Amino acid sequence: MKNGNLRIALIGDIVGLPGRMMFQKYSRVLQHDYALDGLIVNGENSGTQGRGISAKIVHFFKHNGASVITSGNHIWANREIYSYLAQNTDLLRPDNFPNECPGTGVTTFETQGFTVGVINLQGRVFMRELVTCPFRAADSILTFLRSKTNIILVDFHAETSAEKLGLAYYLEGKISAFVGTHTHIQTADDRILPLGTAYITDLGMAGALNSMIGMKKEGIIRTMITQMPEKFMVDTQGPFVLSGVVVDIEPRTGRAVAIERIRIVDYDLQVDEKSE
Active site residues: 74
- C-beta of residue 14 within 8 angstroms of C-beta of residue 43: yes
Burial class (CB in 10 A: 0-12, 13-18, 19+), 143: exposed
Largest CA distance in the chain: 56
- Supply the Cα-derived Rg of the chain in whole angstroms: 17
| Whole-angstrom distance, CA of residue 236 vs CA of residue 29 | 22
- Helices 134-145 and 161-171 sit at what angle, rounded to 10 degrees? 30
CA 233 – CA 255 distance, rounded (Å): 41
